[in-house]
Amino acid sequence: MSGAEEIEEFQTVAWVGDAARGSLRLIDQTRLPTEFIEIDCHDAPTVWEAIKLLRVRGAPAIGVAAGYGAVIGARSQGLADAATVGRALREATAYLRTSRPTAVNLFWALDRMDATAASAGVNSGNGPGLLDRLLTEAHAIADEDRAMCRAIGRHGAELVVPGEGILTHCNAGGLATSDYGTALAVIFSAHEQGKHIRVYADETRPLLQGARLTAWELQRRGVPVTLICDNMAAQVMKEGKVQKVVVGADRIAANGDTANKIGTYGVALLARAHGIPFYVAAPSSTFDLTIPDGAAIPIEQRESHEVTHGFGRQTAPSGVDVYNPAFDVTPAELIAGIITEKGVIRPVNQETIREVIGS
């Protein structure tokens, strides 16, 4: 491994302090790669805004942030008794659910926080005690995510052949999780094993998460990375530079259809056309087995200015109509395997998913 021990680690999502007075600390990802700024969230609206405006992003990281945001919201009406804390929690989790619609980890984490309060008995006991229990659950969500990331990396690295070129789209690294990433966990693990890989990172229009975030993370860890524009992927594949595609996911349906950042579906089609295996890396918490297929996955529609005024500069005529879906859905039939903390799911279908993930 080339100097990874010297890489300065960072925490994308962290809790600072105790339950009653602590805060959620986030890396403001809208400022990367030129500025490394951390922000402290002391109330639920600040957490909601951070999720909505992509200061924190990536399905696992959103889930962890939401768990801590629920703790902050639960204390907003005081700690007089458990009923007060429980009522505030329910209001906070309902509010945080409105921040972004596609990443299932957001709802999964908030459901866990609500269930924790319910099991504790919100109509009895003391407020500070319930709040401490909620913080313990939020910490558990973060700890489980870190363990899942490392396991995904181990399983995924077994699929990587030394010397391969790997293409990834958007950002599914430490900035999208609480630790090591999902798709990038596969890459980091393979790199640490000395497999001498090279990564091709799509820039990921319109907000350039691949350029701003993925390239930044890979450089920090000493992984050879080449940045390409989104519309260069076909040519790079045609030239034989790519032997695998590995991407993350924001929600996976029961049949394996996978929602990820817009442009992923196109990459999957290109990979199929060039005979390149296309893998998804995601924790089990990203599966939504309540929906049968990708047609039921809600797709977030974002503001037009992200396309017409990227990073503050106008690049399109005033008044032009804009269509700006944040995600697309890749059909299961295009996915060679889904790399989870429990192992690799292949072939990708409802039966193998339930065998590996459970019902």
333 residue type, one letter? E
CB contact at 8 A, 5 and 169: no
Helix axes 44-52, 82-96, angle to 10 degrees: 20
- Whether 250 is catalytic is yes
Cβ proximity of 83 and 122 under 8 Å: yes
| Closest C-alpha among 358, 12, 6 to residue 181 | 12
CA of 22: how far to CAs of 26, 71, 87, 213, 281, in Å? 13, 10, 20, 28, 33
CA 177, CA 142: separation in Å to the nearest integer? 9
3-class SS of residue 207:
coil
Q: Which of 145, 202, 250, 328 is catalytic?
A: 250
**152, 339 in Cβ contact below 8 A?**
yes
What stretches of 100-203 show up as alpha helix (H) in DSSP?
A: 104-120, 127-157, 183-192
The amino acid at 43: D
Taken in order 102, 104, 108, 109, the sign of the CA dihedral is negative
Sequence-distant (≥ 6) Cβ neighbours of residue 126 within 8 angstroms: 79, 81, 82
Q: Are 9 and 35 in contact (CB under 8 A)?
A: no
Are 128 and 20 in contact, with CB atoms under 8 Å apart?
yes
Cα torsion through 108, 111, 112, 116, rounded to 10: 180
CA–CA separation, 170 vs 150, rounded Å?
20
Q: Provide the annotated active-site residues.
A: 250
